[in-house]
A and B are shown apart, each in its own frame.
Chain A
Amino acid sequence: MTGSGSRFFNGADAMNLETIDYLHDLHFITQEQREKLSRLYSKDVFSLHYELRCVMYIGVLLFIAGLSLFAYNNLKTFGHQLFIFMLFTMMSSCLSYAVAKGRRYSNTEVVSPGIVYDYMLFLGCLLFSLTLGYAQFKYALFDGGWELVGLVPALVFIPLAYRYDHRGVLSLGIVSLASAIGLTVSPVSLMRHGFIPNTELISVGLAYGALLVVIGLTSDYSNIKKHFKTSYIHSGAHFLFIACLAGLVSEDKKLVFLIVLSVLCGFGAFYAKRFHSFSILVIVSVYTYIGVSYLVSRVITDTTVQPIYIVISFLTVIVALLTFRKHLSTG
């Protein structure tokens, strides 16, 4: 008997041989499968796939964090051309490796050639961003146009993600494009000055979110990299809802944003039901709850009534989630 939580530490070993025998006794698995599964779970063959993947990922993150910190701390003391040359060499080595090992393009999901390939492509893209940012800072490559430092990587990453079928690189591309059109958040300024959105930024956020959702749906219907849909839809949903909430909080036309929020909520619920997506259901519930509660808190100012609202509203959300989930499971 196993639990899902202990799977992280136990991995595949969590399933015991007794269960395999039990499934075989019930003729749910064949003798051949039983023997192979027994071999697998008796640890005759011990896979280190996830451990190696995890170590590699941490290594890439530490390396890129160290390089970025090095660049930041040594801006005036290090040979810039030498540093850019080093970054460029490393970047081209990583990308060359990915190009050499990459499999042929296909509209469907392409199985990755291996762990090293996945992370070399990812590291190459991160190094590309770092090189470009450093070159822009030192030599003003784009003549002070910092938005191009976001746009150029996006224009490189998104095609690369499609060509080499890499969701991590696609996410980098989506984020880079968002930064290029001005959708950035600086934690320090957020802490110092709070959230100061403006109408243009909100409109851009809504448009960008809608674009991502449309691309996601199109990739699903056109069968071009169908598995990228989740990345597009999730990013799009976050952009749409955050922009909508920003409008609701900061703009005067609250009714307009309330209508937008309702439309988004309805579309999200429809999408969740259509594609059996629990994650979208949770995203929709959380953002809609925040928006509605913000409006209610402006109406109900009595501190003794507010806890009652909190309790009733949360219970309503829980019941709604459970009911909707039931529909999703049966639908």
Chain B
Amino acid sequence: MLAYHPYWLEASSIVHEAKHLLKRALITPEQFRIIGAAFTTPLYTSNVLERIGLFVFTSASVAGIFFFATETLADPGFTKHYIPQLAIGMLCFASLELLIRLKKVFRAGIDDALLYAGLVLTIAGLLRVLNTAFPSLPLAVHCLLALPFPLLAAIRYVDRICAAASLVCLIAILWILYRHEYDIGTSLLSFDIMLLSVVAFFTMRRIRSNKMLAPWYSCIAAIEISTLFTFSLAGNSFVVETFMDSCMSLTARAAYTINAAPFYYAFTLLVPVSYVVLGLINRDRMLLRVGLIAEALSLLTLRYYVHAIAIEHALVILGVSLILMTIVAIQLLKTTRNGFTHKKVPLQLPENVPGEAVVLFDRLTAQKEAVKAFETGKEHIGDRGASLGW
């Protein structure tokens, strides 16, 4: 199912982490060199700038091919527009598979662009075909049919955006069911999204420690982050009111304003704060950072409703408050308090690190043999790779 051997992903991850440790001076350059030499991987991975560049160039190439194909292949009335869409979508997937097999590209920009272009074109093409064949097909069914694509892509290509897109797809199905298919209490939608987010979050938290799922750790983390955002946005008063305005009658809207609005205002303000507090209590950086971003969104929502002071005054007051808060926090954390510190590297490298680390090559050789077997077609599970459930 996985397009890459788990050992490659693991080796790449370990070298990546070792690079991070080296940057923080927690290991010596010699140790990093040895780790790099031991965990060699054929994966071609780009740095951020290069990845963006390759992504843009590849996307533009696909767009050019698509434009050319629609100009030349489609019929004059564009009634069979789905043919080039499907053909190029499939071509993208074929190219991606070929590139992975030959060049072992992984998060290099080219594979990302081919994957997203392939997904968008294939899903759009298939839905067009369905729409032409069954014009009365409900919109929710469209979403339901689209859902497996990002999910399968996330599983096969270990793609985080596809993993998050699967969750969004699920929420879109819920929204469509409420908005278009059944005229049921729309105010329940936000609670359903909250419930879905909570269930998804705790499921992901439960499965993240499963060794079998280790190659998909980043996908699991992406879903966790998405659920935290969807939970806070589902109860955000601006989001809820925008949805209400789009689909509720005036009477129902008035009832909402009287009965439910205070709850949503409180939710908008309290949830981001609780993320930050829980993040600090549990030492959970993900919760803490999502909480800080959600807090910024919550302040923007607050500004949307409350105009007690001019924008320039609000900016100055907020800016000064943030600066003062940071200064106070730094002063408080000058000496480590309850395990919290403001320092970048809390632990220093021990002074007497041996210049030469002893390398146990036995296990690594076994793994490399397993990878070689994989490359030659005889799939065999390596020592540590076995734990990954290939």
Contact = CB atoms under 8 A, between A and B. Distances in A.
A65 B320 CA distance: 12
Contact of B292 (A44, A51, A61, A114): A51
Given A52-B330, A70-B313, A2 B357 contact: no
Contacts of A67: 312, 316
B266 interface: no
How many interface residues does chain B have, given as a range?
A: 35 or more
B27 A29 contact: yes
B78 interface: no
Interface in B4-18: 9-10, 13-14, 16-18
Given A39-B347, A56-B322, A282-B53, A3 B58 contact: no
A4 B72 CA distance: 41
B286 interface: yes
Interface string B102-126: 0000010010000000000000000
Interface in B338-366: 339-347, 349-350, 353-354, 357-360, 363-364
Given A23-B35, A48-B329, A37 B312 contact: no
Contact of B13 (A1, A26, A39, A66): A1
Contacts of A285: 53
B31 A29 contact: yes
A46 B339 contact: yes
A32 B288 CA distance: 30
Contacts of A256: none
Contacts, number: 250
A113 to B, nearest CB: 11
Given A33-B353, A286-B53, A307 B344 contact: no
B313 A66 contact: yes
B289 A314 contact: no
B50 interface: yes
B350 A43 contact: no
Interface string B199-233: 00000000000000011011001100100000000
B261 interface: no
Contacts of A116: 326-327, 330
A283 to B, nearest CB: 9
Contact of B160 (A5, A62, A278, A303): A5
B131 interface: no
B358 A27 contact: yes
A69 interface: yes
Contacts of A33: 26-27, 349-350, 353
Contact of A26 (B68, B288, B325, B363): B363
A321 B320 contact: no
Contacts of B317: 66
B17 A15 contact: yes
B330 A311 contact: no
Contacts of A330: none
Main secondary structure on A side of the interface with B:
helix
Contacts of A12: 20, 24, 285
Interface stretch (B59-67, B180-188, B237-245, B369-377): B59-67
B354 A2 contact: no
Given A6-B160, A66-B312, A66-B319, A44 B339 contact: yes
A4 B319 CA distance: 31
B312 A70 contact: yes
B20 A15 contact: yes
Contact of B71 (A3, A281, A286, A307): A307
B222 A321 contact: no
Nearest to A67: B316
B16 A26 contact: no
A61 to B, nearest CB: 7
B311 interface: yes
A278 B218 contact: no
Contact of A40 (B34, B346, B358): B346
Contacts of A61: 319
B21 interface: yes
A314 B58 contact: yes
Contacts of A51: 288-289, 292
B283 interface: yes
Interface string A111-147: 0001110010001000000000000000000000000
A185 interface: no
A279 B71 CA distance: 36
B333 interface: yes
Of B63, B68, B349, most buried by chain A (CB within 10 Å of CB) is B68
B321 interface: yes
Contact of A9 (B13, B285, B314, B359): B285
Q: Which of B16, B322, B341, B357 has the most CB of A within 10 A?
A: B322
Contacts of A123: 323
B150 to A, nearest CB: 16
A44 B346 CA distance: 10
A302 B104 CA distance: 37
Contacts of A314: 57-58, 60-61, 64
A52 B327 CA distance: 9
Nearest to B314: A66
A45 B341 contact: yes
Interface in A84-121: 114-116, 119
A271 interface: no
A196 B333 CA distance: 53
A282 B47 CA distance: 11
A52 B54 contact: no
Given A58-B322, A59-B318, A67-B316, 10 more contacts: A3-B160, A28-B35, A33-B349, A48-B329, A63-B322, A66-B316, A69-B315, A315-B61, A321-B50, A321-B53
22 contacts: A3-B218, A6-B222, A25-B360, A30-B350, A32-B353, A33-B350, A43-B339, A45-B341, A48-B341, A51-B289, A55-B325, A59-B318, A59-B321, A66-B315, A282-B53, A307-B64, A307-B65, A307-B71, A314-B64, A321-B50, A321-B57, A325-B46
Interface of A: 1-15, 19, 22-23, 25-30, 32-33, 36-37, 39-40, 43-49, 51-52, 54-56, 58-67, 69-70, 73, 114-116, 119, 123, 278-279, 281-282, 285-286, 303-304, 307-308, 310-311, 314-315, 317-318, 321-322, 325
Closest 4 CB pairs of A and B: A3-B218, A63-B319, A66-B315, A59-B322
